[in-house]
Amino acid sequence: TDNAAQVISWAFECYEKGLIDKNDTDGLELVWGNYEAIIEMLKKLAYRDGYGDFLADGAVRAARKLGKGSNKFAVHVKNQDSLDGIRINKGWGFGVIMSPVAGRHLRGSLSGFWLGTNKAINSYEEVPETIYRAQQQKAVQDMLGYCSYVYGLDFDDWVALASSATGLSLSKDKLYHKGLQAHNLEKAFNTFHVGFSRKDDFPCYRYYNEEVKSGPYKGEKLDHNIWERMLDEYYRLSEWDMKTGLQTRQGLENIGMEKVADKLEKAGKLLLD
């Protein structure tokens, strides 16, 4: 749903700006409010039919093919289409961007909901620390199979339920450690197979350069310099290299992931201490 909605929105904006016309869109009039065109575009995407084939690989690839500056409003995280409007909620945004599962809101929404915060929604304060901890918790949730919409349980309940189900003597610290390992394994997978580094841990062009146009947070956009500092702090907490964003041997060994460090080192994708 996220990918389809984003790439269709990108196409509508291209149409609105005059970058494409009916000759490109199989005769469809891509104007906001034309829900019949949206339904037809969904069908075309599903079957890679006509203009749907042009869009089917996402907004980033479509923008590369079209050109004309259309990349500036292709909203994505690590080249994955994203619907999250992160110019206001900085914690949510940082969680979405730093997630190894790029562009998915469940990795950002937990930033204040689970761990709690008394900071303003648009504050940068304590964001790296909160997200560092929250992503461990989300990894634990996924491993245990808990639904994101079971709101009445806290982490202590998770420990009790998991201990009862497995017969193991679990604790919050043990589960958080497993969450930290899982998050680092996802990170290592991306490094090994895709080559992500610090340059990929930034929001897309639009969120730095276009302000929120209306509402109580009118004028909000992301600050690149502050984002740089948040990355530094997040990498420090994670024991990753600040310059490259790559994992380090010491950091992986400290959490019992020597074999992962060996594999990354063999591939030339590990920072040696």
Question: Helices marked H in the chain — which ranges?
Answer: 2-16, 35-47, 51-55, 59-66, 90-98, 110-113, 127-144, 155-166, 172-193, 205-209, 224-238, 249-254, 258-266
- What is the pairing mode between strands 80-81 and 76-77? antiparallel
Output phi, psi for 268, to 5 deg.
75, 30
The structure tokens 């679990």 sit at 170
- Residue 76's DSSP bridge partners are 81
Residue 150, amino acid: V
Identify the pLDDT of residue 111. 47
In terms of residues, how long is the chain? 273
| Residue 112 scores a pLDDT above 70 | no
Question: Regarding predicted confidence, which is higher, 111 or 115?
Answer: 115
Q: Decide if domain 2-74 falls under CATH 3.40.50.880.
A: no
Work out the average pLDDT over 149-169: 88
Work out the average pLDDT over 132-160: 87
For the chain, the structural domain boundaries read 2-74, 90-266
Residue burial 8-24, b: 16+ Cβ < 10 Å; e: rest: bbbbbbbbeeebbeeeb
Neighbours of 2 (CB within 10 A): 14
Average pLDDT, the chain: 91
| Residue 113 scores a pLDDT above 70 | no
- The whole-angstrom separation of Cα 24 and Cα 106 is 35
Q: Among candidates 60, 161, 75, 172, which has minimal Cα distance to 115? A: 172
* Beta-carbon contacts of residue 102 (< 8 Å; ≥ 6 apart): 77, 78, 79, 80, 82
Q: pTM for this one? A: 0.90
User: Ramachandran region of residue 75, left (φ > 0), alpha (ψ -120 to 50) or beta?
Assistant: beta
| Residue 9 scores a pLDDT above 90 | yes
Which one of 1.10.599.10, 3.40.109.10, 3.50.50.60, 3.90.180.10 gives the CATH number of domain 90-266?
1.10.599.10
Identify the pLDDT of residue 164. 95
**In whole angstroms, how far apart are CA 81 and each of 8, 47, 69, 74, 218?**
11, 19, 17, 8, 24
Identify the pLDDT of residue 185. 97
